[in-house]
């Protein structure tokens, strides 16, 4: 009877460590950060409002009128199964909409939308962690990670 609890504990520890061990052994892992900023303003005459954006690779949205949405796309290039997970830090998370995860095996896009809600300066980072898999066992493991993120978000 004592062997069953030991087996359960051992199995639980192995299962908990599996993502760390298998990710390093089976998947290519990349981490990217994009500086994101933008300011929201209230124009005197909304009909004459213009969007002044600095469209650079750092996702600077420039000045955005209140109640206006500006969308940029990240081009995601790959030729094999890939999973990217996105997160933000800073007050920019209050106004930026983005996919929580993206699973793709050919070139795709991730749309990043800046929603002007309250006048202020918003700054922060969009973080993207990406795993790429070869065919076979690595691809199956990436499917497990995809399943996990689909349940989480």
Residue 53 resides in a domain: yes
Give me the pLDDT at residue 137, please.
87
In a domain, 22, yes or no: no
**Which DSSP helix (H) or strand (E) runs through 12?**
helix 3-26
Q: What backbone phi and psi angles, to 5 degrees, belong to 143? A: -60, -40
Tally of domains in the chain: 1
CATH number of the domain within which 89 lies: 2.60.40
Burial 125-152 (b: 16+ CB within 10 A, else e): bbebebbbbeeeebeebbeebbeeeeee
Whether residue 1 lies inside any domain: the answer is no
Question: Would you say residue 9 lies in a domain?
Answer: no
pLDDT at position 42, please? 74
Report pLDDT for 14: 54
Q: What is the mean pLDDT of each run of 10 residues along the chain (153 residues)?
A: 63 57 75 88 52 54 87 90 94 94 93 90 93 87 89 85
The pTM of this model reads 0.75
Does residue 23 form part of some domain? no
Q: Which domain holds residue 67?
A: 29-152
In a domain, 58, yes or no: yes
Residues 6+ apart with CB under 8 A from 117: 40, 66, 67, 94, 95
């Amino acid at each position: 009877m004592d062997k069953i609890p030991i087996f359960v504990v051992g199995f639980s520890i192995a299962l908990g460590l599996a993502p760390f061990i298998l990710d390093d052994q089976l998947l290519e892992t990349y981490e990217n950060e994009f500086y994101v900023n933008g300011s929201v303003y209230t124009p005197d005459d909304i009909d004459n409002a213009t969007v002044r954006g600095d469209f650079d690779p750092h996702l600077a949205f420039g000045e955005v009128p209140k109640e206006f949405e500006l969308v940029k796309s990240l081009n995601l290039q790959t030729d094999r199964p890939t999973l990217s997970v996105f997160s933000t830090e800073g007050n920019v998370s209050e106004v930026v909409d983005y996919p929580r995860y993206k699973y793709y095996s050919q070139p795709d896009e991730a749309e990043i939308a800046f929603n002007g809600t309250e006048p202020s300066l918003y700054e922060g980072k969009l973080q993207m962690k990406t795993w790429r898999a070869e065919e076979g066992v690595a691809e199956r493991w990436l499917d497990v990670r995809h399943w996990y993120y689909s349940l989480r978000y």
